[in-house]
Amino acid sequence: MASSSTLALAARAQELRAAGVDVISMAVGEPDFDAPSAVREAACASVQGGNVRYTPAAGRPSLRGTIASHLNATRGIDYEPDDVCVCHSAKHALANVLWVLVEPGDEVLTLAPVWDSYLAQIVIAGGEPRVVQPRADLGPDLDAIARAIGPRTRGLMLNSPSNPSGYVWSREEIEQLTQLAHEKDLWILSDEIYARIVYDGVRPVSPATISPDARERTIIVDGSSKTFAMTGYRIGYLAGPREVTRAVARLQSQFTGSPNAISQEAFEAALREEPPEVASMVAEFDQRRELLLAGLAGIGLPTARPRGAFYAFPDVSAHLDGDDSRTFCERLLETEALAVVPGAVFRMGGHVRLSYATSLEHIGGALERLGRFLGK
């Protein structure tokens, strides 16, 4: 198994930087902001107060209650604390759900462009990932999804807003998906980690809200990393049918034990206080998104307009000369000191991913380097 490709690329950029090269990195998928002050204060208070012993394996009841209320307020779904299990991160919650649901040989559908960790996690859980290609605008091709469902297909992983495309599924698309899941008896693992980072007035729809049937077959995963810029705190959760949350809690109790007590308190503060920093961060991302999209259009790279998350996923196929996006990105890093992620990582080799979780100044510099690299 390969290690996470984005992390490997970030490491090479770091190496060049250490050698004195002025590298601009648009490879990293984490907010470049501090966690809100309420979060930092709660973390310090937790340490000072000594409330840092093991918690229940599924997380503190108060945090699970707060998450349930948060889901009610943000998604309109009525969950109880027992429908929630706190995990060490969203990534860990996804892995836990797959370990619990996937039997050897089960097929799990994923939708290109797909975050590479999904594919690795399905394989680790003993399943077989199947990748379905999207429409030209990077939205879901529901006919192709229907055609990909076979006798061994058990579930589907959804990520809206998407890493890496920023695509946000419409209500109609989500409804069609839940209908398909009902007909074919599939579970939906809905990774909603970017649900609060959206633009142009869009509102992401969770499949769990569509109908009682959809709610019973949907497991929501979310966390603290993106919305509250808490990547290093490592805290996330899943919510869904009690059978699943309880099974994950049992697994967790044997495997990793209770999630970090300090981060649980910090996350609870974030969810309770709705820190104003979140809205300012999203507004800042929006400004960067506009600059990046205008710049990419200026150098002639077709880019589907991302309406969520903090990535753009331009089509660079006209510039590949037969090689794939990995070689393109390696050359871009070595000649222009600009780090971006090859689309091949996400099973769409004609694209690259640029993260705009970096300053306007860096985005401007990156566009200049990319334009020069493409001979524009």
**Positions in the binding site for ligand PLP (CB under 6 A):** 29, 89-91, 115, 159, 163, 191, 193, 223, 225, 231, 236
State the nearest-atom distance from the C-beta of 338 to ligand PLP, in Å.
20
Question: From the CB of residue 59, how many other CB atoms can be counted at a distance below 10 Å?
Answer: 25
Kindly give, in sequence order, each residue whose CB lies less than 8 Å from that of residue 238, ignoring residues fewer than 6 positions away.
84, 85, 87, 93, 96, 97, 219, 220, 221, 244, 245, 248
Closer to ligand PLP by CB, 269 or 337: give it. Answer: 269
Helix (H, G, I), strand (E, B) or coil at 293: helix
Closer to ligand PLP by CB, 244 or 337: give it. Answer: 244
Closer to ligand PLP by CB, 191 or 315: give it. Answer: 191
Closer to ligand PLP by CB, 140 or 223: give it. Answer: 223
State the nearest-atom distance from the C-beta of 120 to ligand PLP, in Å.
13
State the nearest-atom distance from the C-beta of 92 to ligand PLP, in Å.
6
State the nearest-atom distance from the C-beta of 9 to ligand PLP, in Å.
13
Give the type of residue at 64.
Answer: R
- The answer to whether 275 and 267 are in contact (CB under 8 A) is no
Kindly give the residue spans of alpha helices, DSSP state H, lying in the chain: 5-18, 37-49, 61-75, 90-101, 116-124, 142-148, 171-184, 212-217, 242-255, 261-273, 277-298, 325-336, 360-373
User: Distance of alpha carbon 216 from its chain centroid, rounded?
Assistant: 22
Helix (H, G, I), strand (E, B) or coil at 25: strand
- The answer to whether 57 and 257 are in contact (CB under 8 A) is yes
Closer to ligand PLP by CB, 158 or 367: give it. Answer: 158
Closer to ligand PLP by CB, 91 or 196: give it. Answer: 91
- The answer to whether 66 and 271 are in contact (CB under 8 A) is yes
State the nearest-atom distance from the C-beta of 321 to ligand PLP, in Å.
30
State the nearest-atom distance from the C-beta of 313 to ligand PLP, in Å.
13
Residue 189 is classified by DSSP as E
